Amino acid sequence: MTPRMLIASALLSTMSRLTSNFPIFIMHRQSMVNQLKAIALVLFVSACATKADSKPAPESPNAFTAAAVSSGDTPPALTEANPGQSANAGNSGFNVTAEDSQRAPNELGHIPVVEYHLIVDKDAQYSRDREHFARDLEFIYQKGYRPVTISQLLDRKINLPRGLSPIVFVFDDASPSQFRYIEKNGQLEIDPTSGIGIWLAFRKKHPDWTNNAVFCMLSGAAAGRSFFGDKGIEGQKSEWRHKKVQFLHDQGFELCNHTLWHATLSKYSDAVVQEQIARGQLAIDSAVPGYKVRTFALPLGVWPKNRALAKSGSWTDPKTHAVTRYNNEAILEVSGGPTKSPYDPTFNPLSITRIEVIGEQMQHTLEAMDKNGTRYVSDGDPSKVARPPLAGNK
């Protein structure tokens, strides 16, 4: 028993003896006795409540994470009902380190939109070594960045705790190296050496790393760049294409249009430009019926002669006469560096700049943003926009 419980018990015992042995005393001092009894009862109840409140904390705040990892399933999405991924978890389950919490909020800062193509066995202009890609994810995570989608920028829903920063991952072209299946005994498994396999493995290690990435897809290009592989290229069957797109959608990734077969739009007529974009959107709708495509990535970053057609237009199927219309809310350039915050009055969603992941360019850019104070840093309060600290007050 706790000291408080012992005191309460002694008082109750004393009151009992008084009432049984000294009836005359009770007649004249009943009020005082009742008060003492009340105090004793309060002490006893308080002691019991204190004990209950001070029970040991659960063994691990990561119980659901461990279960998810051991079962091989994708960890649960981060929600208010799923808090606490680690001992240092911030709001909504995000892991926030002491270094993260020291960053001055700046929600007018720049946001890196990083651009990947092939995930293979070597680094080149349009390819990333698999191990290097895995190191990229770890580097970005340790720098206090967490992934968001283009749609989140458009909607201004960058819900990160104070001290963390948003980063947008964009995977262009829908090559088999980004998403590859392995068939075993009639069952399909994600190839752990493909881009999505590496991503999901990283997420098991860091459950606050959400599936907020953007896949800008081709649906009819050569070399298997048709919804992540077809015609046996890299062992990928054509009938798996829609299954892959559906999986990405179901897991929370954003689907983005990159035209039908990566046409350099400046070379073609207005009619061909609209056909390329409209049929790219139509293909996504065939895989995920009713999906609203909001983002379009310019092939090679080249605009059509009529720039307005990159945003909106239509195409009529010559066989069925069905009309497909498109109206893109965001257009991705191929380069240009970190993009502006959606809270910046000069932010232009129809010209979102990106960082091509070549060599160590992305790492150098993130380091420079820290050094010159241009990094977007969340204040953790969605009701207001944190402005950068004044010079001399950092």
82 domain residue, yes or no: no
Which residues are 315's β-sheet partners?
324
**Do both 179 and 251 map to the same domain?**
yes
Per-chain mean pLDDT for the chain: 82
What pLDDT does 29 receive? 35
Please give the structure tokens belonging to residue 235.
């062992």
140-169 burial string, b = 16+ CB within 10 Å, else e? bbebbbbbbbbbbbbeeebbbbbbbbbbbb
State the CATH number of the domain containing residue 345.
3.20.20.370
Please name which of 268, 266, 260 lies closest in space to residue 296, comparing C-alpha atoms: 260
Please count the structural domains in the chain: 2
Contact 229, 186 (CB under 8 A): no
Q: 144 pLDDT exceeds 90?
A: yes
What pLDDT does 92 receive? 62
**Do both 132 and 260 map to the same domain?**
yes
Please give the structure tokens belonging to residue 154.
């458009």
67 domain residue, yes or no: no
Q: pLDDT tens for residues 202-261?
A: 999 999 999 999 999 999 998 878 999 989 999 999 999 999 999 999 999 999 999 999
What pLDDT does 149 receive? 98
Please name which of 294, 297, 301 lies closest in space to residue 326, comparing C-alpha atoms: 294
Q: pLDDT tens for residues 59-68?
A: 332 222 222 3
- Enclosing domain of residue 181: 105-372
**Do both 37 and 183 map to the same domain?**
no
Dihedral, CA atoms, 78, 254, 110, 337, nearest 10 degrees? 140
User: Which of 29, 53, 77 marks a domain boundary?
Assistant: 53
**Do both 173 and 321 map to the same domain?**
yes
**Do both 328 and 188 map to the same domain?**
yes
Q: What pTM does this model have? A: 0.78
As a whole number of angstroms, the distance between CA 4 and CA 248 comes to 58
Coil, helix or strand at residue 355: strand
25 domain residue, yes or no: yes
Q: 5 pLDDT exceeds 50?
A: no
As a whole number of angstroms, the distance between CA 236 and CA 218 comes to 16
